[in-house]
Structures are given as C-alpha cells and as structure tokens.
Amino acid sequence: MPRKLMSLLFAALALSQPEPAYPRSTQPLELRITVLFNNVPQRPGLTTGWGFACLIEGLEKTILFDTGADGAVLLANMRHLDLSPKAVEAIVLSYIHADHTGGLDEFLAKHADLEVWLPAEFPAGFQRAIAKQGARVRPVSAGGRLFGKAWSTGPLADGIVEQALILDTAQGLVVITGCAHPGIVRIAETAGRLTGKRIRLLIGGFHLGGTDRTEIQAIIGRLRALGVEKVAPSHCTGEAAIAQFRQAWGKDFVEGGLGAVIEVPLR
C-alpha cells in the first residue's frame, strides 16, 4: 500500500476511536495545605518566625491564609518550597495582629491581583491601604460561605475579633485557625453549626501557651466530644499543650510546623 494512503488510513482509524467513558479530571483530587510561616520548626532550610501563614491549594481558588509577621521571610520560604505568589487568588486574614498580617504589604507588592477576605472590624485605614495596592477587599461580617468550598466562622469576639477558615472536603471539614483568641472549642462548635458537618482536621494556633494542664485536658475532652478526628496545633499553642494533644490524638495527631504539607481528599 502506498505510504500516503497508509497514513490517511491510520488517521481515519484514530479519529474513529470512541471517547473515553470517564474523561480524566483536570481538577486536583486533594486539598493541599503547606505551612509557610511558623515559629514551630519542622522542615530544614526554612526560616522560622513568630506568626502563622499557610497556602491552600486544590479549591476553586488558591488561598493564602494569614501572612506571618515578615513579608521577606514569607516570600523566601515560598521560594524555597518552589511556590509562586502569583498562584494565590485569595488571601484570608484571621485577625489584625502583626504576626498574622505583617507580611501582607510585601506580598501585595509582588502580587495584588487577588481578593483579601478579612473581618469587617479591621480598621478602615488598613482596608484602604489594601485597596490602594490594587487588591479587592472583601469584609466579612457574618459566618458563611466565602466562595465554593471555603467558609468563614465569621468574626468571633473575645476582646480580639478573629475569624477562622473552614474548608469543606469529602472527609469532613478542615478548620484553620490563626490564633484562636475566641477559644478553639468555640471555633470548632461554630464550624459544625454553620455547616452541619464534622471536623476532619483542626489546624493552626490554639492559643494555649501557659494554660494550665487541667484546663487543656478539659479542652481536649470537649474537642473529642465534638468528634474532631485529627489535630495539627502549632504557633501559639505552646509546647506543653502540643505534647498533650499529641498524646491524646496518637496516630491522628498531625505535625503542623513550618514546611508541613498536609493533604486531604476532596472527593
């Protein structure tokens, strides 16, 4: 058979092949959380600092939750982990203190084409400064859905106004806290009440540094009663409290220090 005719025959056969019954999905199958800023060390080669920030990939938008205390350190840690600021589509800020917002200006100087979700109680001047850098400010005044599978507890006040981030996965909720000033149990209860779902993973600062051991045990008992499956405390939780959580959760304790990468199936 002439070569040209053979080529035409193979092309026709290729075109006639049926489409796959189940096309491959282009969407990530896992929620990936990477801790970018933390005073609790874990992965070598990264710079620690007092504060918290993490990158969340796999949802409708890539989220930066909090920015740590120092933008230069945040960006350097991202470079070390081969993560680009340009990939971030939304920033969620937990509360106003500098160990959670201090890296924002320097980050926005690199990339400001994104949304910044923050408690509506943040100072008006702070919000104007974000808008001036080119970002879109999204004040949060009540608990509920931010977008897609991302929810907020809404601003919770206990002297300091703070929100926590709730992520909806097939295995349950992932709740990320900045410093949990309103109380880690209250945050967990609010997440469950808003969504009607159980908590798969509770991660972030639990604000228990210096808290009495007996009180920490009571908090552990209440979180257990709420059905919290896994915990990854760090930042302001305190070494003693982290040790108690590690003992209480055993194999379901997740290390959440700087550089930790935590994956949860989305479906």
Domains and CATH numbers, the chain: 28-265 (3.60.15.10)
* Number of residues that make up the chain: 267
Residue type, 262: I
Q: Report strand pairing: 160-162 vs 165-169.
A: unpaired
With a pLDDT cut of 70, the percent of the chain lying above it is 89
Chain centroid to Cα 30, Å, comes to 13
With a pLDDT cut of 90, the percent of the chain lying above it is 87
Distance from C-alpha of 67 to C-alpha of 200, rounded to nearest angstrom: 24
pLDDT of residue 29: 66
In angstroms and rounded to an integer, the radius of gyration of the C-alpha atoms of the chain is: 22
Q: At what angle do helices 184-195 and 213-225 cross, to 10 degrees?
A: 10
The pTM score is 0.89
pLDDT of 21 strictly over 50 = no
Mean pLDDT of 197-207: 98
> Do the Cβ atoms of 29 and 263 come closer than 8 Å?
no
pLDDT of residue 205: 98
pLDDT of 209 strictly over 60 = yes
Q: Where are the beta strands (DSSP E) in 105-177?
A: 115-119, 136-140, 144-147, 150-152, 156-158, 160-162, 165-169, 172-177
Mean pLDDT of 117-132: 98
Q: Where does the pLDDT of residue 155 fall: very low under 50, low under 70, confident under 90, or very high at 90 and above?
A: very high
pLDDT of residue 239: 96
Mean pLDDT of 96-122: 98
Contacts 24+ apart (CB under 8 A), 122-125: 122/93, 122/96, 123/96
More confident residue, 146 or 6: 146
Mean pLDDT of the residues in the chain: 91
Distance from C-alpha of 127 to C-alpha of 139, rounded to nearest angstrom: 9
pLDDT of residue 252: 98
pLDDT of 9 strictly over 60 = no
97-119 per-residue burial string, b: 16 or more CB within 10 A, e: under 16: bebbbbbbebbbeebbebbbbbb
Q: Kindly state the helix (H) or strand (E) to which residue 57 belongs, with its residue range.
A: strand 52-57
pLDDT of residue 56: 98
Distance from C-alpha of 88 to C-alpha of 34, rounded to nearest angstrom: 13
pLDDT of 6 strictly over 80 = no
Dihedral of CA atoms 185, 187, 193, 198 in degrees, nearest 10, equals -70
Q: Where does the pLDDT of residue 19 fall: very low under 50, low under 70, confident under 90, or very high at 90 and above?
A: very low
Distance from C-alpha of 77 to C-alpha of 23, rounded to nearest angstrom: 37
pLDDT of residue 24: 29
How many other C-beta atoms lie within 10 A of the C-beta of residue 56? 23
Mean pLDDT of 24-44: 82
pLDDT of residue 28: 52
> Do the Cβ atoms of 266 and 237 come closer than 8 Å?
no
Distance from C-alpha of 58 to C-alpha of 54, rounded to nearest angstrom: 13
